[in-house]
A and B are shown apart, each in its own frame.
Chain A
Amino acid sequence: MGANTLGKRITLALLILALLLPALPSSGAVLAWGSRGEQVALIQQRLRQWGYLSSEADGVFGQATYDAVKAFQRKNGLTADGRVGRATAEALGVSLTGGTLSADLWQETELSLLARLVSGEARGEPYVGQVAVAAVVLNRVRHDGFPDTISGVIFQSGAFDAVWDGQFDMEPTDASRRAARDAMNGWDPTGGCIYYYNPRTATNQWIWTRQVQLTIGQHAFAI
């Protein structure tokens, strides 16, 4: 092999290796005791609005804010660690990268969470299947064996793959937003199901013991 050819191959190999840059996770800002600034003030305003915090929104994350965040987290099915990460920020209706979500109303925040879940779990499924996924979440909220808030159900440990594999963080599709709205307005193609799984990929033996009520697209919906 000539020197030129070898050199070209080395160059190509280095180029390929270098271009395999890992996808970096986002910096994942977290606000905690000691943090200061506008984001802290915004969080304090929300906590005051919902009665968790009585002190002023001074932009300083101290004891009172820590206690208020923990109380909010407990109430909403989040890990009560007193730190405002992605999940808590979404539940509060605040973006940690700046600005706020589109509406400061509680229902819009729940809708956003539900739409993300639908998009992450059922993107590409028939529309009825997307509504069905949203309906399963709402059925769980009403069921005694699950947390009693939408955020609590969605963030329950190990409940939905999309929450843990990054699909949940992607911008929801228009169809998934509409599916979430339709489910919140009462549409439930599953007739009360609280589980669903993909029969082709499900490895959990327990889920196969659930009684299937219907199958839509890739998902079997069960009670």
Chain B
Amino acid sequence: MSRRILIPILVLMLIASSVLTLRQTQRLRRAQLIADEQALAALNQAAEEMQSLTLSLEKLTLSAHAAHQARLLHAVALSAGDVQQCLAALPLEQDAAAGAMSLMGQLQAEASSLLPSLTRAALTDDQRSALQQPLALCSRLSSQLSLLRDENAPAADALLNEDYPLPEVRPPASPRGLPDHTVTREAAREAARSLAPGSVLSVEDAPDASGVLPAYGFTVKTEDLQLNMEITCQGGKLLWMMPETAGFSPQHTAEECVAAALAFLDQHGFGSAEAVYLQQYDGLCVVAAAPLQDGVLLYPDLLTVQVRMDTLDTAGLEARSYWTNHTTRTLSTPALTADDAFSALAGEPVRRNERLCVIPAGDGEALCWQCTVEKEGDTYLIYVDAATGEEKAIRKVIPLDNGFTEA
């Protein structure tokens, strides 16, 4: 192409490039302005919601009527949630607003826990007195947020880094399911080798984990798989295992995979269990299994297994809940029959699969009756305390493209 044509074309391209650069700079400036505006909007909203929340708490300390107290508590919970979200939108250094956000989280939780009692009676004097401390903290936070709207206010990080109490961190419970003795790295290495399917080529060290359940890390290579796993320092048990890669070609059904998963658990000392949900992805069948004791499902001890859908080998396991919670429970005879427990269900739905189970409840566990009901095409699991008849939980079974789960 002759220079007479090429140079004008290049000049035009250069001009176009400059124009586009200018427009991009303007867009970026505008984006920054929008970000600044959004941060300011979040601050303003947080300040307003905080004023509203503080006012609701003040009224709560005066109110004597249960229904009104319920409305005020509901308002507190809503405002606390809004403030928390607004604080999250502020451009702050990490942890600057963690204390304030925790305070909002605690208020939400406290309001939610008090609401049910208001169906029986108004708040007691002690309960109202207990509101003084959060009220004082909220007043302080409200003042800080209002101050931040002032142009001359100090930086938000400095202002919000007040000493709002973070939730008490309970010391972690000793893992109930692990043996007491500790094992050496070599013993753990042999345990890792024994867990891998097929012929093992090598077992190499991987990063160890500290914390609640210290564990040795290993990478185990077989002929067609690389497995990452952790073996607990206490007891030398498999804490978790997962394959480095997947994408296996499904050759077996979900039912066969479930059977393989349960067989693996039984063969490796986890005892009998029952599949409670499953998913399939990347050629893996992921089975969540609840251990059984005398036919009772033990949900706090949940295990999750990944089975290769091409070979039925177990390639993954998640056992943290099991080792933390598993023990042989003393299961009392239920005070209520299943019919008694579910007699108050709204609309008297058709129930099926009624059985006993143990579920997490508050700081402990509860023996419950579980049943499955269908409503308008959806499936629900309902849990009722087998001793008191209290409805503990309702879970909806959610079908996914690749299995199902609960929520």
Contacts and interface: CB of A to CB of B under 8 A. Distances in A.
Interface of A: 7, 10-11, 14-15, 17-22, 24-25, 73-75, 77-81, 102-103, 105, 107-108, 126-128, 131, 144-148, 152, 155-159, 174-175, 177-178, 181-182, 185-193, 195, 204, 206-207, 213-216, 223
Given A157-B92, A181-B279, A185-B279, A213 B209 contact: yes
B52 interface: no
A206 B95 contact: yes
A185 B24 CA distance: 42
Given A80-B85, A157-B91, A185-B318, A192 B211 contact: yes
Contact of B38 (A10, A81, A127, A187): A81
Contacts of B212: 191-192
Contacts of A74: 81-82, 85
Nearest to B288: A185
Given A157-B92, A204-B94, A206-B93, A214 B207 contact: yes
B54 interface: no
B102 interface: yes
B67 interface: no
B242 A11 contact: no
B400 A107 contact: yes
Contacts of B304: 185-187
A21 B400 contact: no
A14 B279 CA distance: 57
B17 A18 contact: yes
A154 to B, nearest CB: 10
Contacts of B167: 144
Contact of B41 (A79, A177, A188): A79
A191 B24 contact: no
Contact of A77 (B88, B92, B207, B210): B88
Given A126-B244, A178-B281, A81 B41 contact: yes
Interface of B: 3, 6-7, 10-11, 13-14, 16-17, 20-21, 24, 27-28, 38-39, 41-42, 45, 81-82, 84-86, 88-95, 98-99, 101-102, 105-106, 166-167, 206-213, 217, 228, 230, 240, 242-247, 279, 281-282, 286, 288, 302, 304, 316, 318, 320-321, 398, 400-401, 405, 407
A105 B320 CA distance: 28
A185 B85 contact: no
Nearest to A175: B245
A68 B318 CA distance: 40
By CB atoms of chain B within 10 A, which of A25, A144, A192, A207 has the most? Answer: A144
B91 A187 contact: no
Contacts of B320: 186, 188, 191
Contact of A79 (B6, B89, B98, B99): B89
A126 B245 CA distance: 10
B163 to A, nearest CB: 14
A10 B92 contact: no
Contact of B94 (A131, A206, A223): A206
